[in-house]
A and B are shown apart, each in its own frame.
Chain A
Amino acid sequence: MNLFTLIFAYLKARPLNTLLNILLLSLGIAMITILLLFSNQLQQKIADNTKGIDLVVGAKGSPLQLILCNVFHIDFPTGNIKLQEADRLAKHRLVKSAIPMALGDSYQNYRIVGTTHAYADLYKAELETGVWWRHDMEVTIGATAARLLNLKLGDTFASAHGLSEAGHAHEEHPFVVKGILKPTFSVLDNLILTNVSSIWLVHEHNGDEHEIIKPDSLNASVLIPTAFASDSTRELTALLLKYRNPIAAIQLPRYINSQTNMQAASPSFEAARLFSILGVGIDALTGFAYMLIFISALSIFIALYNSLKERKYDLAIMRSMGAGRSKLLWATQLEGVVLTFCGSVLGVALGHMVLFLFTTLVTESQTAGVNAFVFYIEELYILVASVILGIICSLIPSFQAYRTDIHKVLAQG
């Protein structure tokens, strides 16, 4: 016999009540856990995906859209910019490096990105099999895209215009898979990478076959060495810039926004803005979760309070058998703590399980790269907080237990 046997016997004596209290609390905790996992991983993803990109330059429009489109690949392009202008910017003294981005096509919802190898280097991508793209119409694809599209080395596919499945297919220019990347746990996993000129090639109309003359080092574009710097027909979707020095952070966006036809947007700034918008929803859900926890705490308090009334003879008789006041106080406290601790352990487990089910059953969520089996230190805080919650819930009941007047109770009969 010990305190735990006694407490579990008491909890087992009212199985439905105990179950209800544990479930109620675990629902609130599960919700908190899911939100925690989700927002932490989202923040991490955002940080990972914007790493190494100081500024995105594209056609004028919404800066958030520019970032969502060119960094996170979830929105549509704002429009195109001239290669000539982009080239000029790439040579600017405040720009350390510039990566061209040509978007607009997709294959079964997976985006085809015309870019350079520098873009893949940004996410430290490594090849799983095959090689990097070298020539036109060769692609290297991200791990998730390869898996879900079931593409292997040597497979060919025709891209579709636009970023949804319904687009017009460019069947006359099939792409061929040359390489598949290892998972990078970034946006790269969902992309199909090729060179910029492939994108141009796909969009050329059969009539105006382009000149075969290759530019030499004197008149070639900085960004796309296979194109003429003077070619006024060529366009890109955006440029990903890296600053040469801190001064660039102040001067460059202002210069681009006022002196050129393009706009500049900072990924970290826009991501923070986006997160503050999302934050409202997360806050609302968190508020709801806390309300659930509050109600369950109230329910645990009421259950303890009521059961203590039923147990007043138990308490008195235990005192008569030698139990001190403090032992009864601890027993009641422990009962509250056992309830809340069980509830929160179940809740944390439930949170991970729900997220696991969600990520396995909903394919779209896999592209978001949310992992159900990542554990955060905050979950430990949740467990600690639940112990404190248990102590608070049982504060009044345990004080009552402490104050039990044995003579009065036992003299009653």
Chain B
Amino acid sequence: MIRTRSLSYRYNSEKEIAFADLEIASGDQFLLLGESGSGKTTLLHLLGGLLKNQHGTIEVNGTSVSALRESELDRFRGKHYGFIFQRNHLLAALTVEQNLLMAPYLAGLNQDMIRVNEVLEQLGIADQKKKRIQELSLGQTQRVAIARAVLNKPSVILADEPTSALDDKNCDRVSELLISVAKQNQATLIIATHDQRLKNRIHNLIQL
């Protein structure tokens, strides 16, 4: 459950963006559409607690995210959110398995190998577990990034332009994966994008 009230963010003395109030139920899938510079990433980062100092309130699963102190916010992020970015941002020094284990480690949760194997299985990359990130194909790294985002069973998955750099075929595959993985893990999915192709798959739209 995500709820925002009179949310706005001031970039500098001239530019300020006000966002319409949102109400997103648990398990819903939303598309955050808008052109570059429309504030998609800003809103996504505000919802995800990556950005602070906004006006208005944000409530996620009954917790007022906007009121949390920074260290509380760090912990809250680790337990409740999964992030996926346009670039995968995996830790290149680590193996696939180690990358996945970073999620529970940093969130202060149990490092459960059974869960790691389960997620890798879901995404069809179980055989890549011991490989280094550089040895994987682009498609495989995307799956690893998705696996990492869902590993802690977050209640909210936030994706920032996950498909905009992909061709139609890969776009289909990644969006399909995201939607099904979010469903399997009963997570709310919010995708910020300017990629119109995703409209065919997710029908709840927030237009900025």
- Mark A residues whose CB is within 8 Å of B: 1-2, 5-6, 9-10, 12-13, 313-314, 316-325, 327, 406-407, 410-411, 413
Measured between beta carbons, the chain B residues less than 8 angstroms from A12 are: 93
Select one of B50, B71, B93, B103 contacting A407, CB under 8 A. B50
Most buried by B among A10, A318, A325: A318
Is A320 a contact of B77 with CB atoms below 8 Å? yes
Select one of A10, A318, A324 contacting B93, CB under 8 A. A10
Given contacts A321-B106, A410-B45, A410-B85, contact A314 B91 (CB under 8 A): yes
Is B94 a contact of A9 with CB atoms below 8 Å? yes
Most buried by B among A1, A2, A318, A411: A1
Given contacts A314-B89, A413-B85, contact A320 B94 (CB under 8 A): no
Is B51 a contact of A321 with CB atoms below 8 Å? no
Is A322 a contact of B41 with CB atoms below 8 Å? no
Given contacts A5-B98, A411-B41, contact A322 B75 (CB under 8 A): yes
Q: Tell me the minimal C-beta distance from B158 to chain A in angstroms.
A: 9
Q: How far is the CA of A233 from the CA of B98 in the complex (A)?
A: 90
Interface membership of B140, Cβ < 8 A: no
**Which residues of B from 116 to 171 have beta carbons under 8 Å from A?**
148, 160
Q: How far is the CA of A325 from the CA of B75 in the complex (A)?
A: 11
Is A320 a contact of B48 with CB atoms below 8 Å? yes
Measured between beta carbons, the chain A residues less than 8 angstroms from B98 are: 1, 5, 9
Q: Tell me the minimal C-beta distance from A339 to chain B in angstroms.
A: 15
Is B51 a contact of A407 with CB atoms below 8 Å? yes
Q: How far is the CA of A413 from the CA of B86 in the complex (A)?
A: 6
Given contacts A1-B101, A13-B92, contact A322 B108 (CB under 8 A): yes
Q: Which residue of B lies closest to A327 (CB)?
A: B106
**Interchain pairs with CB closer than 8 A, number:** 83
Q: Using A1-B102, A323-B106 as known contacts, list a sample of 19 further A-B pairs with CB atoms less than 8 Å apart, ordered by residue number in A.
A: A1-B101, A1-B105, A6-B91, A9-B93, A13-B92, A13-B93, A316-B89, A317-B85, A319-B74, A321-B83, A321-B107, A321-B148, A322-B77, A322-B79, A327-B106, A407-B50, A410-B83, A410-B89, A413-B85
Q: How far is the CA of A351 from the CA of B47 in the complex (A)?
A: 57
B residues contacting the other copy or chain, number (CB 8 A): 35
Q: Which residue of B lies closest to A406 (CB)?
A: B50
Q: Which residue of B lies closest to A7 (CB)?
A: B93
Q: Tell me the minimal C-beta distance from B83 to chain A in angstroms.
A: 5
Measured between beta carbons, the chain A residues less than 8 angstroms from B83 are: 317, 320-321, 410
Q: Tell me the minimal C-beta distance from B136 to chain A in angstroms.
A: 16
Is B50 a contact of A410 with CB atoms below 8 Å? yes
| Consensus secondary structure, chain A interface | helix
Q: Tell me the minimal C-beta distance from B63 to chain A in angstroms.
A: 15
Is A322 a contact of B78 with CB atoms below 8 Å? yes
Q: How far is the CA of A322 from the CA of B106 in the complex (A)?
A: 5
Is A1 a contact of B111 with CB atoms below 8 Å? yes
Is B71 a contact of A324 with CB atoms below 8 Å? yes
Most buried by A among B83, B85, B93: B93
User: Can you list 17 contacts pairing A with B, beta carbon distance less than 8 Å?
Assistant: A1-B101, A6-B102, A9-B94, A12-B93, A313-B89, A320-B81, A321-B103, A322-B74, A323-B74, A324-B70, A327-B106, A406-B50, A407-B45, A410-B45, A410-B85, A411-B41, A411-B45
Q: How far is the CA of A267 from the CA of B71 in the complex (A)?
A: 67
Interface membership of B87, Cβ < 8 A: yes
Measured between beta carbons, the chain A residues less than 8 angstroms from B48 are: 320
Given contacts A1-B98, A413-B85, contact A321 B50 (CB under 8 A): no
Select one of A2, A5, A322, A410 contacting B107, CB under 8 A. A322
Q: How far is the CA of A31 from the CA of B141 in the complex (A)?
A: 47
Q: How far is the CA of A368 from the CA of B7 in the complex (A)?
A: 81
Given contacts A324-B71, A324-B74, contact A413 B87 (CB under 8 A): yes
Q: Tell me the minimal C-beta distance from B15 to chain A in angstroms.
A: 15
Measured between beta carbons, the chain A residues less than 8 angstroms from B92 are: 13
Q: Tell me the minimal C-beta distance from A249 to chain B in angstroms.
A: 68
Select one of A5, A13, A313, A321 contacting B78, CB under 8 A. A321
Q: Tell me the minimal C-beta distance from B186 to chain A in angstroms.
A: 20
Q: Tell me the minimal C-beta distance from A162 to chain B in angstroms.
A: 68
Q: How far is the CA of A207 from the CA of B34 in the complex (A)?
A: 122
Q: How far is the CA of A316 from the CA of B42 in the complex (A)?
A: 16
Q: Tell me the minimal C-beta distance from A164 to chain B in angstroms.
A: 63
Q: Which residue of B lies closest to A310 (CB)?
A: B92
**Which residues of B from 52 to 106 have beta carbons under 8 Å from A?**
70-71, 74-75, 77-79, 81, 83, 85-87, 89, 91-94, 98, 101-106
Is B94 a contact of A410 with CB atoms below 8 Å? no
Q: Tell me the minimal C-beta distance from A58 to chain B in angstroms.
A: 70
**Which residues of B from 8 to 50 have beta carbons under 8 Å from A?**
41-42, 45, 48, 50
Q: How far is the CA of A10 from the CA of B81 in the complex (A)?
A: 26
